[in-house]
């Protein structure tokens, strides 16, 4: 009887352990850096473990497209910018926004002041560095609102397909380049430029800011209540990680560095990045505001008919079901 009872207890322990450790894989939009500190902090501080989750964080990179990864079954949830996610949805990858940790956009166009560019109107006829792989959509929408063609025709702008660096600006191959407030802008500064030698156009200030770094899952998977409940735990634990990172930026930067297997990141840059990232976060829990979604869609639809980002307002592209399923 004792041996049977012991065996039963062992089976219960094993079974209980398996049930407690629900697996979640998240695909990041870019390489390991403070842009994703909340997820690394949640893992390092045990927030995921406390929620009964076994989370795998997959770094991204220039050759990694989150929509393709999740469509191929390589992740349960991905980090992506809404323009990219909505464009992918319209092309057949049914992504749904389940949470929006970032409230504000960090995207900017940084120009050399010596070019004489002072206002957006001065961009006409200029060479502008633009990121692609889904990051070009906000830029195309902005140029459309300015009435500037991006196809190289007279009276428009010349688009230089920018690598994920600021070399075109430094080497004077472009008048302006794409930068993030928390990353590439500071690479320009570290290259020897002073703030007064630069003219910066923040997408937020230009009224063309679209949502960045949201969490997305596949629509078909969200029909499973157990999956929704699991993601509810994940989102809640991730938000806890973001809140901790914002309050302890230096510690968060250290955790990011511990997870950087490339060795490319520096303590100075990650601490600075975390400080800037904290300014973009949603402090109300990361639940998508419908008005922010509508604003982003409106901006994308203004992209004209020659290179539309999306052609119609998407239906079912966001849900509060996951946030509502968060443990209270």
End position of a domain, from candidates 175, 202, 229: 202
Residues 84 and 217 reside in one and the same domain: yes
Residue 11 has pLDDT above 60, yes or no: no
Tell me: do 227 and 313 sit in the same domain.
yes
In a domain? residue 40: yes
- The answer to whether residue 3 is domain-embedded is no
Q: 36-40, 186-190, 285-289: which range is least confident on average? A: 285-289
**Mean pLDDT of the region 117-130:** 96
- Please indicate, yes or no, whether residues 182 and 251 belong to a single structural domain of this protein: no
Q: What percent of the chain has pLDDT over 90?
A: 78
- At which of 202, 233, 250 does a domain end? 202
Q: Are residues 290 and 253 in the same domain?
A: yes
Asked if 166 and 216 sit in the same domain, the reply is: no
Asked if residue 74 belongs to a domain, the reply is yes
Confidence (pLDDT) at 13: 47
- State which of 178, 202, 226 marks the end of a domain: 202
Q: Is residue 149 part of a domain?
A: yes
Q: Are residues 88 and 190 both part of a single domain? A: no
Q: Tell me, what's the pLDDT at 307?
A: 61
pLDDT of residue 306: 57
162 domain residue, yes or no: yes
Q: Are residues 117 and 55 in the same domain?
A: no
Task: Report the CATH number that the domain containing residue 149 is assigned in CATH.
Answer: 3.40.190.10
Give the chain's domain count: 2
The domain of 177 spans: 107-202
What pLDDT score was predicted for residue 211?
96
138, 230: one domain: no
As a whole number, the mean pLDDT across the chain is 91
Judge if pTM exceeds 0.85. Answer: yes
Three-state SS for the chain is: CHHHHHHHHHHHHHHHHHHHCEEEEEECCCCCCHHHHHHHHHHHCCHHHHCCEEEEEECCCCCCCHHHHHHCCCCCEEEECHHHHHHHHHCCCCEEEEECCECCCCEEEEEEHHHCCCCHHHHCCCEEEECCCCCCHHHHHHHHHHCCCCCCCCCCCEEEECCCCCHHHHCCCCCEEEEECCCHHHHHHHCCCCHHHEEEEECCCCCCCCCCCEEEEECCHHHCHHHHHHHHHHHHHHHHHHHHHHHCHHHHHHHHHHHCCCCCCCHHHHHHHHHHHCCCECCCCCCCCHHHHHHHHHHHHCCCCCCCCCCCCCCCCECCHHHHCCCC
Same domain, 69 and 185: no
Task: Note whether 188 and 310 are same-domain residues.
Answer: no
49 in a structural domain:
yes
Question: Are both 224 and 99 inside the same structural domain?
Answer: yes
Under the banding of pLDDT at 50, 70 and 90, the label for residue 284 is confident
Q: Specify if 51 maps to a domain.
A: yes
% residues pLDDT > 70 (the chain): 92
Pick 62 or 257 by higher pLDDT.
257
Domain co-membership, 131 together with 227: no
pLDDT at 264: 86
Interval 169-222: pLDDT, tens = 999 999 999 999 999 999 999 999 999 999 999 999 998 899 999 999 999 999
Task: Look at residue 13 and tell me if it is in a domain.
Answer: no
């Amino acid at each position: 009887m004792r041996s049977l009872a012991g065996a039963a207890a062992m089976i219960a322990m094993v079974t209980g352990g398996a049930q407690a450790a629900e697996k979640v894989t998240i695909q990041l939009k870019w390489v390991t850096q403070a842009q994703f500190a909340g997820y690394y902090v949640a893992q390092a501080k045990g927030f995921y473990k406390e929620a009964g989750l076994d989370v795998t964080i997959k770094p991204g990179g220039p050759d990694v497209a989150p929509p393709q990864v999740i469509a191929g079954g390589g992740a349960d949830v991905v980090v992506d910018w809404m323009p990219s996610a909505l464009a992918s949805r319209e092309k057949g990858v049914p992504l749904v926004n389940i949470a929006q940790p970032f409230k504000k956009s960090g995207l900017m166009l940084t120009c050399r002041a010596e070019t004489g560019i002072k206002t957006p109107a001065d961009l006409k006829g200029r060479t502008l560095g633009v990121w692609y792989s889904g990051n070009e959509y906000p830029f195309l929408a902005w140029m459309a609102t300015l009435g500037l063609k991006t196809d190289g025709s007279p009276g428009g702008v010349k688009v230089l397909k920018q690598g994920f660096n600021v070399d075109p600006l430094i080497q004077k191959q472009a008048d302006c380049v794409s930068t993030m407030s928390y990353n590439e802008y500071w690479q320009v500064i570290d290259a020897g430029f002073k703030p007064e030698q630069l003219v910066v156009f923040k997408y937020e200030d230009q009224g063309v800011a679209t949502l960045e770094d949201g969490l997305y899952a596949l629509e078909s998977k969200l029909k499973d209540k157990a999956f929704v409940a699991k993601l509810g735990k994940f989102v809640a634990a991730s938000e806890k990680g973001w809140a901790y990172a914002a309050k302890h930026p230096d510690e968060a930067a250290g955790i990011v560095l511990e997870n950087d297997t490339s060795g490319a990141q520096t303590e100075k840059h990650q601490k600075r990045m975390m400080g800037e990232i904290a300014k973009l976060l949603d402090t109300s829990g990361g639940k998508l505001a419908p008005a922010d979604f509508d604003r982003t869609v409106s901006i994308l639809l203004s992209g004209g008919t020659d290179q539309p980002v999306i052609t119609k307002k998407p239906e079912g592209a966001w849900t509060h079901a996951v946030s509502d399923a968060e443990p209270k």
